[in-house]
Amino acid sequence: MLFDSHSHFNNEDLTSLERQALFSVVDTAVSEGRMSYAVDIGFDPESSKMAAEHAAVWPWCYAAVGCHPHDTKDMDDMKLALIKGLAANDKVVAIGEIGLDFHYDLSDRAVQREWFRKQIRLANELKMPIVIHAREADQEVMDILKEEGTFSEERKSWFARRPGGSWNDAGFASSAATEPDARVLLHCFSGSAELGKQYVKLGATISVAGPVTYKNNRKTVAMVEAIPLEYLLVETDSPYLAPVPHRGRRNIPLFVEFTARKVAEIKGISFEEAAKATKDNAMRFYGIR
């Protein structure tokens, strides 16, 4: 019943034995009904290839392919063509993770920008959902997304509409209305409530990870409060960012439960409701039926 919208079975620190163990743990959870799906997210051409292979093997696994800003220093047009080829696989459901990371600056900023734009253009060409990684680059990420037509009416016209409602001073009221969906996901979102609302109004979707469970993370709690449940996903970003009570240890997709429990607590709903809503939202976002 839980959907981990962002994980890394393809992480290079896992030995193949550890990876097999991880797959069998999740497979058991799926057969017992505790989990439904996970998306293995590529961060460079090699890990994207692995993600597509994993998705081909495991029925509950889907893949995203793309190059993380950290790894853009090694990108070239051949590798972009490889990512494009992988994207043609049935179970590859998004381009990502792509974006800008000005916290670590592991690739030159000009290089990060160039490949962020090129990969957005690829997603637009292929009419695919986009998974965004943004760190200490909030304004520039939003500017580039807008400039590349990510929130354009044309792009929104490619995708099914999503549940909607109206915004007023008190927040958001769900209604029978639907609204356009740009299929842009801000993964492990750490921005403010205000920025989150701006993104949602543009047609984006927000995903929260383990940090929402961390003590004193009022900013992300306030953001979850402000964002309608219709537009929220949960993720682990495993093996990183394990939620409380596993903080500091290696994260696994099953721990998405703790993030969903925190979302339930913030929203004042049951865990089952939070799990189902975030799963339905993720299925809609990735186009999984």
Question: Contact at 8 Å (CB) between 259 and 236?
Answer: yes
Question: Contact at 8 Å (CB) between 259 and 213?
Answer: yes
Least distance in Å: CB of 206 to Zn ion? 15
- Cβ nearer to Zn ion, comparing 6 with 279: 6
Q: HSE on the CB side for 224, CA within 13 Å? A: 27
- Report the candidate in 10, 63, 60, 35 with the shortest Cα–Cα distance to residue 286: 63
Q: Mark 184-218 as b/e (b = at least 16 C-beta within 10 Å).
A: bbbbbbbbebebbbebbebbbbbbbbbbbbeeeee
Instruction: Please identify the residue of the shown chain whose CB is closest to the bound Zn ion.
Output: 237
**The tokens of 170 are what?**
């008190």
CA geometry: angle at 284 spanning 27 and 276, to 5°?
60
Least distance in Å: CB of 272 to Zn ion? 27
Question: Contact at 8 Å (CB) between 132 and 96?
Answer: yes
Residue list 200-259, contact with Zn ion (CB under 5 A): 237
Least distance in Å: CB of 161 to Zn ion? 28
Least distance in Å: CB of 252 to Zn ion? 14
- Cβ nearer to Zn ion, comparing 181 with 237: 237
- The residue count for binding Zn ion (CB under 5 A) is 1
- Cβ nearer to Zn ion, comparing 40 with 237: 237
- Cβ nearer to Zn ion, comparing 138 with 237: 237
Least distance in Å: CB of 131 to Zn ion? 8
Taking residues 118 to 137 in sequence order and writing x for each that binds Zn ion by CB under 5 A, - otherwise, the string is: --------------------
- Cβ nearer to Zn ion, comparing 42 with 228: 42
Least distance in Å: CB of 97 to Zn ion? 5
- Cβ nearer to Zn ion, comparing 148 with 237: 237
Least distance in Å: CB of 94 to Zn ion? 12
- Cβ nearer to Zn ion, comparing 197 with 236: 236
CA distances from 256 to 8, 154, 218 (A): 13, 34, 19
Residue 245's CB: how many other CB atoms inside 10 A? 10
Residue with token string 């929402």: 212
The contact set with Zn ion (CB under 5 A) reads 237
